[in-house]
Structure 1
């Protein structure tokens, strides 16, 4: 996997290219597709150390750079700083027209709907993900936001107990900067019955279903993120995202935990609020070929 680059689309008559200019496919055609934010809490030098997560960071960085994303990584962040780091990076984006998509990858220990900062303080996953909700970030309206969560989701304490321990946040909407323009597509009159929910255009993929463990190999990284990198590298050129994630799920399900963990199996889990099809279009830049224009 590490010796092969992401496969490019060379044949403009590829079936997915026929959908490139349609309104039911997200626009992803810039030289830079957007940003990938990776938060990797390793809990280094503690009994909770997540050995092997650095392999995931390397593999993910290689993958998304080849898919034409800029990758920004935050390592060993306390719970509160996880949100502040993302807010600062978000607010530093000066030209939203250059952002077709945002990818958020969270790697840490977790419990139920919470994920842990490197200070071992829990924070609700929704508080992190909502940093990129359209009601807080107008520049991301109608654009896809992909979230990958590598963390266990077992429940040892009640939601009330976790809530008391977790940090709380007040979020503010950021205003478009001078000279910014609305999204990628030209303005079109929309159906007045269409509701633009702030959580629309999100896809969240968990390494494991709620209430279960996720697994990580100290040499090769986590099962889930390894599967994401492998499948995306070899199949992103010709399959839509939901189909890619079916492949990811099938690959994750083939793993078996060590004897220490009872040789348990797991699968990944997808929650999607996407409103269009999503293709990475590796190797395709600029406007759709005129051959396929309506």
Structure 2
């Protein structure tokens, strides 16, 4: 029977406050640049941008099981990204060298007329922010470092969005009853340091498993696509939508496995934001 499984490798020993402009500085009127409001990125350029999907189902190592069900996530992401106006590129079972070659190529391209860049990574993961390519491991921050303004000037000041479905460890979340609802708060800065304008939406918290159903795909990616499809037309910004995703995963999901030790477990997405403005996806003409 098809059931829930985790996106983890076999167990091994593992390992912003608002800033005022300097004297003589000047705040930019964002509304004059085509934003929905003074607190949003300009998402009204000619193109939405590129959305890369790195989907890993099979691996060279016999110790890494096939990620059955990930094709469902790939299909859902493609549909959602195309609905948002992205040019979608799917890369299946790429090696580490292949992944980095794709990102380096993108960094050299001209994104002047693109609103933003997005990337989804569907794979196994482990502690220390490790992600698995087909042949080797890497860390997601190695990819973001290739897209900083000094490496990719035409994405300077634009949102660079990463969505990762992978385990971050082997801890299990038992959950508790009647936990009050929380709120995700993101502070922004008026300056543009090299590490600004990135967002990482991760399927789970550090050290924990991320769950994937062999028939229906992963709980995080499916919730993400459903919320994007539902709330983008309502004019909600990306952080609001990701909060809804977190709520949906936290409240609606419980693992269902044949092993009592891993059944009935919860999952909590983790959103790391270095965005300075709100992200909306207005319809393209």
Q: TM-score range by the shorter chain?
A: 0.7 to 0.9
Residues 49, 111 of structure 2: 8 Å contact kept: no
Note the alpha carbon deviations across 1:8-49, whole angstroms, 9 max, x for none. Answer: xxxxxxxxxxx9443321111235211101111111695510
In structure 2, the residue matched to 1:153 is: 168
In structure 2, the residue matched to 1:165 is: none
Residues 59, 133 of structure 2: 8 Å contact kept: no
In structure 1, the residue matched to 2:103 is: 86
Q: How does 1:1-294 map to 2 (within 5 A)?
A: 20-43=35-58, 48-91=65-108, 93=109, 95-112=110-127, 113-119=129-135, 121-154=136-169, 195-237=191-233, 238-253=235-250, 254-259=252-257, 260=259, 261-281=262-282, 283-285=283-285
Q: By how many angstroms is 1:98 displaced?
A: 1.8
Q: How far apart in 1 are the matches of 2:39 and 2:88?
A: 27
| Bigger Cα displacement from structure 2, 139-148 vs 45-54 | 45-54
Note the alpha carbon deviations across 1:206-252, whole angstroms, 9 max, x for none. Answer: 00001000011111111100000000001112211111011000111
Secondary structure of the 1:135 match is: coil
Q: How far apart in 1 are the matches of 2:106 and 2:226?
A: 28
**TM-score, normalised by the number of residues in structure 2:** 0.75
Q: By how many angstroms is 1:81 displaced?
A: 2.1
Secondary structure of the 1:280 match is: coil
Q: How far apart in 2 are the matches of 1:136 and 1:109?
A: 28
Residues 117, 123 of structure 1: 8 Å contact kept: yes
Q: By how many angstroms is 1:284 displaced?
A: 4.7
Secondary structure of the 2:107 match is: helix
Residues 58, 93 of structure 2: 8 Å contact kept: yes
Q: By how many angstroms is 1:143 displaced?
A: 0.3
Q: How far apart in 2 are the matches of 1:21 and 1:265?
A: 37
Q: How far apart in 2 are the matches of 1:278 and 1:195?
A: 17
Contiguous gaps of at least 5 residues in structure 2: 1-33, 172-188
Secondary structure of the 1:97 match is: coil
Residues 135, 198 of structure 1: 8 Å contact kept: yes
Residues 235, 244 of structure 1: 8 Å contact kept: yes
Aligned residues: 227
CA RMSD, Structure 1 to Structure 2 (Å): 2.1
Residues 216, 222 of structure 1: 8 Å contact kept: yes
Secondary structure of the 1:100 match is: strand
**TM-score, normalised by the number of residues in structure 1:** 0.72
